[in-house]
Each structure stands twice: as C-alpha cells, then as structure tokens.
Amino acid sequence: MTTTSTLDPAVFGLVLMAAALHAGWNAFLKIKLEPFLAMTLITAAGGVIGLPFLVWFGFPRAEAWPWLIASVVIHLAYYVALAEAYRRADMGQIYPIARGGAPLLTAAASLFLLREPITLQGAMGVAVLGVGIILMAFLGKRKHAVIDPVAIGFAMLTALIICAYTLVDGIGARVARDAHAYSAALFVIDSVPLVVLAWWLRGPEALKPLRAYLPQGLAGGAMSLGSYWIAIWAMTVAPIALVAALRESSVLWATLIAIVVLKEPFVPARGIAVALIVAGLLLIRLQ
C-alpha cells in the first residue's frame, strides 16, 4: 500500500508525538499498583475509550480479521512479558531494552519478509537509533545496581513480541484499507483477554484495588490508544520499519519521566545514548 521509502514531514511529527504518548502510558505502569494489575487497568481503559470510536468507524473488512485476531493473541503475551519485566527492574533499564531491540528486528523482518523498500540512509538511521536506545539501558543503570538476568530476558522477549505485533498490525491495517476501523476494533477486542486472564489468575478480590486508580488508568488508556492508533495509521502510508524506529524514540521521553517523575537516578553517561538516538532521528528525517 505504501509507495515511498521515506517519511512525509507530517507523518514524522505525528509519530514522534505518538512516541511521547507511549512513554507516558508506560510510566503509569510504575504507579503503586502491581505492574500486571496496572497493565490490566490501562488495557481495559483503552478498550472502554475505544468503544465509541468502534461504533463510529465500524468493524474492519473480513480480510483483516485473521491479522486482528493474531494481534490480540500477540498483545496478550506482550502485556504479560512487559509487566513481569517491570516487576523486577526499573523503567529506566527495562524500557530501552524492550523498545531498542524492536526497531532493529522489525527493520530486518520488513526488508526480508515483506520486501518493503527502505533507503540506505533510512536503514542507517534505524540502526543508529536502535543502538542508542539499547545503550541507554546499560549506560543508564544505577552505579551499584545488580542486573537481574531474568528481567533482561523478559525485556528482550518483549522486544521480539513488539516486532511481531508491529508487523501483524501494519499488514492488517493495510489489508483492512481503513486504519481507523482496524485500530478501534483492535483496542476494544484486545482489552478483553487480559481482563479475563487477570480475573482467572488473581480472582475478583484482587481486582478491587483497581477502582482507586481509575483516573490514572483512564489517562494511561487514552495515551496507549492515541499512541498506537497513530502508529497503525502511519504504517499504512509509510514504511513499517521507519515508523517502528521513530516510535521507539519514546525512550527519550521515558528517560525524562523516569528521572523527573519516578525519581530514578540520572546517569551522565546516558548523554552518549541520547546523542546516538538524536543522530538516528536526523538520518531518518533528512533522507
């Protein structure tokens, strides 16, 4: 469906806005709720917010449903893996690993599996940005922090899952020929399995504390919906690899949130990673 190997300036700006929203809803996973319950609350809120949009846009065409169902299954694995990673380590360490590996994997997959064109400069931008994001995790850890290998494993698993659902949703939205109908249906349907899983694993009593955090859940759900909706639409008008890479620049916002809001320590060495991320963004934008 795409006819260009570059990004329109308007698409570039909107995806950067989506990146900021993405970092925002991830920060809500570090509220006083246990991460899995926080994820459940935010996902359920996103589904509720998506309902009126689904009524307005309607369901996507039948050809998109296999991709839609596959995405729901993959997203459920994503929620569980990311929540477990956040349960074991700081946002400042987990977020860059989970998000940094994804654009590199997605770029390779879109090139070799989808045969989607990308310029040499665009590919270099994706690579530089991805390396910068990954370095952010290792240069940004606490001075005497012990790296939990299990947490790192879950973060890497999350990166692989992100690559999978990005490709599935990019293709699904293109097949649907209506990114808005596809996105609305995805958010509404996607909210159900995680709530059911939480109910089954924790029981109804464990879910009662969620009521005290409804405002935060609604804010996180709105950010999550806005962020990924923009990304899905962008993947119908631009190369999936470039959109995925730009979206992961959210690590810059996540780092700021981790330091200012969550009071995680600032490590000067992160400046190297920031420089690489900015360089990657410039390579993508100026191609």
CB atoms near residue 49 (< 10 Å): 19
Mean pLDDT for the stretch of residues 73-96: 80
What residues have CB less than 8 Å from 223, skipping those under 6 apart? 21, 22, 24, 25, 28
- Give the pLDDT band of residue 132 (cuts 50, 70, 90): confident
Assess whether pLDDT exceeds 80 at residue 181. Answer: yes
Predicted local confidence at residue 133, as pLDDT: 75
Which pLDDT band holds residue 287 (cuts at 50, 70, 90)? low
Confidence of residue 2 (pLDDT cuts 50, 70, 90): very low
Helix residue ranges, H only, the chain: 9-27, 35-57, 65-88, 91-112, 120-139, 149-176, 179-202, 204-207, 214-234, 240-247, 250-260, 270-285
CB-based contact 81:74 (threshold 8 Å):
no
Average pLDDT along the chain: 82
pLDDT score of 3 more than 50: no
Query: What would the pLDDT profile of 43-63 be if each residue is shown by its tens digit?
Result: 999 999 999 999 999 999 999
Give the whole-angstrom CA distance, residue 137 versus residue 157: 15
Q: What average pLDDT does this structure show over 81-86?
A: 82
How many other C-beta atoms lie within 10 A of the C-beta of residue 252? 23
Tens digit of each residue's pLDDT (9 = 90 or more) over 59-75: 999 999 999 999 999 99
Question: Given this model, what pLDDT does residue 283 score?
Answer: 74
- The stretch 119-144 carries a mean pLDDT of 72
